[in-house]
Amino acid sequence: MLKGFYRHSPPVCCYIHMGKRIVILGAGFGGLACANALRKGLSQDHRVIVVDRKKSFMMGLVNLWILAGSRRPDEPQTPLAGLNARGIEYLNDEAIKIDIAAKKVQARGHGWIDYDYLVVALGSELAPEKIEGFAGRGYNLYDAEQVQPLREKLLALRQGRVAISVMGMPYKCPPAPYEAAMIISDILEKNGTRKNVQVDMYVPAPIALPVVGPQVSREIVDMIARYGIRFHPDCKPKIVRDGEVEFESGEKAAYDVLAGIPPHRSPDVIKTSGLATSATGEWVPVDRLTLRTGHPGVFAIGDVAEVKSGTVTVPKAGIFAEGQAKVVAQEIIDEISGRPASTAAYNGQGFCFVEVGNSMAGFVEADFYHEGGPAVRLEPPSAESYEKKHDFERSRIKEWLL
């Protein structure tokens, strides 16, 4: 095979050039932000190639809107093929092997693809099978195909108990389970059944959100308490039976409807690549400022990366992946352009919205590199923040794909 070409490629003349090849694995927040920044900052002599097995892009936050009934599950998603019109090569394929020593990636349908730079942005995958009995009994809140059936089940529920369970850590978008709990309460309220339904929140940690610390965790617990939602810490599920969850502590909880956030894991291709060398063997450790992996020309961003500042790990959330992507893109642009060593450095900052139902959302602003520990601020819910959350989706899709 000629270096720099797909094994199953069009005629050689189509691809001959002297530029660099940047391969990005994954077309989520990080992959899309990085690809677009690279394309804007590099001449067409350099190829930007995005590999993703999905054909379209949908933000995870849309699941909450489907749950709330403000977004239909059959509404079209944004095709990733729109990348091609931007001069970014999109391959609808799955990366099945990474050969770091040879600087190439094997895609299932395109064979081996050589790279000069590799950006791993594959995210994390859901592993519901790690909780015995959950599949088929509970609803996966992070699976778009299960959210609408969950909504229908809630609307049909006249009385009983709804359990929302975080089943493992770390998990992506830390506030999302709490958002789901408040949206579920709002659904039941509007349905006229809330007074007959108990809503409980179970988490495996001693506080609500360990990643943001005790103060904001208390504020989150106080927030859901205002909606009559009971909070249960230190409850890691061991097995799910019909109508009952048993936790590792031996405690049991009854339910009529169970909504869960399953444990997360890294993609298989990451584990076999030798990149996943974190303490858990799941995630890719990177330099906190440059997102470099320690292998020449290889970066990791977003959920698949383990970005640590001291003992604190930056959360797995799209806004952080986007910030990391911009830094990596600038580093690569500067290197290719022959500029002095890039001064681009990731700052560990980000924000998110905490939806509470009834077209309202709180706002969280965080700095995870703050001296002395994470600095996190939670603003109370407002209609303005809810609208900003929708603007956030619209602006990113326009910037990356339209």
Q: Which domains does the chain have, with CATH numbers?
A: 12-124+266-349 (3.50.50.60), 127-263 (3.50.50.60)
Query: Alpha-carbon distance 269 to 104, whole Å?
Result: 13
Q: Which of 29, 61, 35 is nearest to 303 (CA)?
A: 29
- The pLDDT value given to residue 14: 41
- The pLDDT value given to residue 197: 98
What residues contact 16, with CB distance under 8 A and at least 6 apart? Answer: none
Count the Cβ atoms, other than its own, within 10 Å of residue 397. Answer: 17
- The pLDDT value given to residue 260: 97
Do strands 125-126 and 264-265 pair parallel, antiparallel, or not at all (unpaired)?
antiparallel
- The pLDDT value given to residue 349: 95
What residues contact 384, with CB distance under 8 A and at least 6 apart? Answer: none
Query: Alpha-carbon distance 154 to 186, whole Å?
Result: 11
Report the length, in residues, of the chain.
402
* Cβ atoms 270, 276 nearer than 8 A: yes
* Cβ atoms 277, 102 nearer than 8 A: no
* Cβ atoms 119, 66 nearer than 8 A: no
- The pLDDT value given to residue 17: 47
* Cβ atoms 165, 202 nearer than 8 A: yes
* Cβ atoms 119, 37 nearer than 8 A: no
Residue 25, beta-bridge partner list: 51, 120
pLDDT along the chain (402 residues), means of 10: 42 54 97 98 96 95 94 90 96 97 96 97 96 96 95 97 97 95 97 97 96 92 96 97 96 97 95 87 94 96 93 92 97 90 87 93 94 90 95 95 92
- The pLDDT value given to residue 280: 79
Q: What are the CA-CA distances from residue 307 to residues 233, 304, 322, 364 (Å)?
A: 25, 9, 14, 20
Query: Alpha-carbon distance 231 to 187, whole Å?
Result: 19
Q: What are the CA-CA distances from residue 131 to residues 157, 188, 261 (Å)?
A: 25, 27, 11
| Exposed e or buried b per residue across 147-182, where buried means at least 16 C-beta atoms within 10 angstroms of its C-beta | bbebbeebeebeeebbbbbbbbebbbbbbbbbbbbb
Count the Cβ atoms, other than its own, within 10 Å of residue 318. Answer: 24
- The pLDDT value given to residue 4: 47
Residue 199, beta-bridge partner list: 162, 229
